[in-house]
Structure formats: structure tokens, C-alpha cells
Chains A and B, each alone.
Chain A
Amino acid sequence: MSILDVEGLSKSYRQAGGESTLAIENISFQVNEGEFVSLVGPSGCGKTTLLMCMAGLIAPSAGRVVVKAAEVDGPPRNLVLVFQEYNKSLFAWRTVLGNVLFGLEVKGKPAREAEEKASYLIGLVGLDGFERHYPWELSGGMQQRVAIARALAYEPEVLLMDEPFGSVDAMTRLELEDGLLRLWKELGTTILFVTHDIEEAIYLSDRIYVLGRRPSRVIQAVEVRLGRPRNQLTTRADASFMELRNEIYKQTAPRLSSGW
């Protein structure tokens, strides 16, 4: 059952000079209920643009997005976007706890229950002890995790994540990947995950859509048939993991396979 349908989506931005930039062109793909799907593509190819359209925050120039059988023409309920610019998305006047609680407050959760839930999520993203800190007291990677915890607290049916692990170190990144997978399983959320990192995409996903250069289209859809639960050591060492990796690299950077 598909929960998310992108049908022939195009978006062009009007430039100051009057001409327009075509960011994405005729993109179509589907995400089924409960799936973990990743989008990979080179910088500037229009991934953020695509997510903004899907989240109903900007209007596409052509095509449409359907979430749970309803066409998107404004932010859909049950869908939350975690912004790439996490530092601009956090509420500077709220503490870490306050930020995470926001996701629960807007849903009208009773205060006690909300606080417990928020503390649990803060622990899950590895920020225990920082509940009373303000976002500006945290590093970039920590701020990013607050934004993730806030979105998870809302328990959306569909979660769009725009390079959410962009500014965390490699070790923390592995932990966050596993934490995200655990929550995804627990909550039954559908996740669309944008990343530059092809290996990360393979590790996390059921399916990967590879986008080409701007104006981008889907140039490849890759099914990932690795078993779950996944494991940072064994999964990444799996022969089919390597195979998938090479296949995608061949598509996106053909020069790599021919050597230098």
C-alpha cells in the first residue's frame, strides 16, 4: 500500500533577473506504508526542494504529491519534515526539553505523559543531562539531534528527513542510524530519508531512489534486500551490501569504476 506518491513533480524557481531555474523535473516515485526509503543525489540536485514540495511548504510547478490518498496542497497532517537547516528550525527560546515537548504539546498530550516521552527521546538521541540547556549551548550535531527528537516526539505517520546526520561525527552517526532504525520499527513510521552518503542509504533503507544532476529525475531505483535487524559490522560487510554499493557508484560516478 503506497502512502506517499510523487507524480511527475517539477519545480522551477523564479530568479531575481526574471529567468527561472528548473530544480527538479518530472520526478515520480512511491513509498509504501511502513517503509524506509532513501533519496541520494549530488549537492544542489533539488532534494530539499523535493521535500519542501512533499511537505506542502512550497507549491510545485507541475505534478502532484499524494499523501494517504489525499493530494497535498498545504502541510499534511501526520507528516513532518526535519529541516536540513536544523539550527534555524529550533526554538531558541525553549530548552532542549521544551523543544522536544513542542512536538507533543501541539498534539495535546497530557503534560506528565509528554514529559516522560520527551525524556525518553532525549536519551535516545544521546542528550541526557542536556534537558535544561538552550540550543545555543549545544554543538551543531547536538542541535541536529534535538530537531530529530522533536520530530519523533510528534509521532508522524510519515517522516521526511533532510540530511539529518549531516553534522555529526562518524561514530555518533552510526549510533544515530541504529537509534533511528529502532524507533522506526517501534513506531511503525514511514521514513523518507535524504542523504549524500550512499552507504548510509543502503544500511538504513528498504529502497533507494538515486537522483541525477539538476534538473534532476530519478535515474535509478534500488531495492535493498538485506535482512533486518541490521548490524553496523555484519551488514556493512555483507557481500550484497558491497554489490549494491558498487552498482550505485557505477551509476552516479562512472569514472570511479574505470579507475584513475
Chain B
Amino acid sequence: MSLSNHERGSEVKSSGRFNFSGLALFAALLLLWEFSSRFTPAIQPYFPPASRVIHSLFQPSLARELFGHLLDTLGRFLGGYFLAAAMAVSLGIILGYFRFAYSLLEVVIELLRPMPSVAIIPVAILLLGIGNSMMVAVTVYACAWPILINTIDGVRNIDRTLIDTGRTFGLGRWKILRRIALPAAAPYIVTGLRISLSIALILVTTSEMVVGGSGLGFFILDEERSLHTSNMYAGIVVVALLGYALNRLFIAVETKAMAWHRGLTARGML
């Protein structure tokens, strides 16, 4: 048995209340950035003060340019993430349910999974060229693993009685997969989806850096090469905000969709 639980990411839950001390520390770090840069002008070309980065963010021309790149990155992210989710969940449910299917693919999975996903970027470039399809493909590949592994794990952990319940009510195999295995494995699937959220952004920006043309990854690297350092930092800030926003959105959806599960775990019934 080589499926493991270590990929089930644990998450520090935010309390939801206004976190004063946390925000104060954040502000202090911003000030540290600002003044350490201000008092050592020699490093300013590489490390401009925070205020200059924020200022450049609000330059209309740069803001417009950044927004364009943001949309490109977001499009690739969404394409890759949702394609990966659809494929990995369907495949994971089948592999989790049918033992022979899993043993057929087990060796391939175990060999490919530990490989750092960025290693396939050159392969993807060779096969797909340097367009959107290549960047999306790489993202799909990388995102699929945590979702796949967690889904398989989730389906395997379903109690036999639950499957038998579907059978006694006359459901066929495929209906059992869709109406019972899928929702019953949902808590595991959601964990995989959460892990893949950040992986997707990593892969999109990385491949944009490698391939160039457009997107926040490309922008960041391009500005660095043109020595527009504060623009580079502005790009980093935008990509960080994008990651933050996506994560918040994910948590909001999860909280709503998985309310039944939260109560279940709270009662210690799992």
C-alpha cells in the first residue's frame, strides 16, 4: 500500500474575527521594508522601499498593463485547475472503487507522482509549443496529483455498508459512484483541491516565466531583466494578492458546501 496520508494538508484555520495583532505585525514588516530600504540607498535599485512599489502599482499605465497580465494568468489558472479537478476526481473515483483499475495504474502513478512537476515543462514545450495550451497542460498535470491521490484515498475509506445501501436501493455501479462514492469522498477531494489551488498558481507563473509573452510570471521576470525593480515587486504583490483572493474564495465555497462535514468532525464521528 503506497497511498499515504501525508498529502492531506492541514490548514491553520483563521478565527474569522478581526486579527489585530496579526495585522499589526504585518504593518510592522511593511515599515521595516520601507525604512531599511530608505536608509540604505545603495540597495534601492534591487530593493526599493514599499511606498515606491505601491506608488507604481497605482500608475494608470502600469495598472492597466498588470491587469492584462492578471487576466492572462487567471485564465490559465482557471483552465488548468478545473480541467485537472474534473479529470482527477473522475479518475480517482474509478481507481478508488475498482481495485483492478488501480493495480493496473499503480506503478505508473507511483513513478510519476514524486517527480517535480516543473520537470515536464520542457517536454510540454516540445510537444505543445509555447502557447496557452502548453501552460494549461503543465498546470493540469501538476494539479492532478493531490486531487487524484486524495480522491482514491477517500473512496477507499468509504464504509462498505454505505455502498451496500446504494446496492439494496437498486443503484447500479455508476450511479453508486456518482450518488454515493462522490459525496462520501468529498471531504478528501476537497483537501486535494485545496492543495492543488496553490500548486496551480505556482505552475502557471513558472511556465509563464519560462515561456514568456504574457502573464504575471512573464511580467515579473521581464521587469527584473529590464531593471524596473519596483515594477517587478508590483507584479509580485499582484500575484500574491491573486493567491490570497483565490484561497479566500475557496474557503468561502468550502465552508458552505461542506457544512455537513464540519459538524460531523466536530462531534468526533469520523
Which A residues have a C-beta under 8 Å from some C-beta of B?
Answer: 52, 55-57, 75, 77, 79-81, 83, 85, 88-89, 91-94, 102-103, 106, 134, 136-137, 154
Contact = CB atoms under 8 A, between A and B. Distances in A.
A85 B269 CA distance: 14
Contact of B162 (A52, A88, A154): A88
B164 A92 contact: no
Nearest to B158: A88
B264 A92 contact: yes
B170 interface: yes
Interface stretch (B44-52, B179-187, B231-239): B179-187
Contacts of A77: 170
Interface of B: 159, 161-162, 164-165, 167-171, 175, 180, 183-184, 186, 260-261, 263-264, 267, 269
A56 B168 CA distance: 8
Contact of A92 (B161, B170, B171, B260): B260
B263 A137 contact: yes
Contacts of B169: 80, 102-103, 106, 154
A136 B169 CA distance: 22
A106 B171 contact: yes
Q: Give the secondary structure class of A's interface.
A: loop
A80 B168 contact: yes
Contact of A91 (B167, B168, B180): B180
Which 7 A-B pairs give the minimum distances between C-beta atoms?
A88-B161, A93-B183, A81-B168, A89-B165, A88-B159, A75-B167, A136-B264
Contacts of B161: 83, 85, 88-89
Contacts of A92: 184, 260-261, 264
B73 to A, nearest CB: 34
B167 A57 contact: yes
Contacts of B170: 75, 77, 106
Interface centre among B168, B170, B269 (most CB of A within 10 A): B168
B264 A89 contact: no
Contacts of A85: 161
Contacts of B180: 91
Contacts of B159: 88
Given A75-B167, A83-B164, 7 more contacts: A85-B161, A89-B164, A91-B184, A136-B263, A136-B264, A136-B267, A136-B269
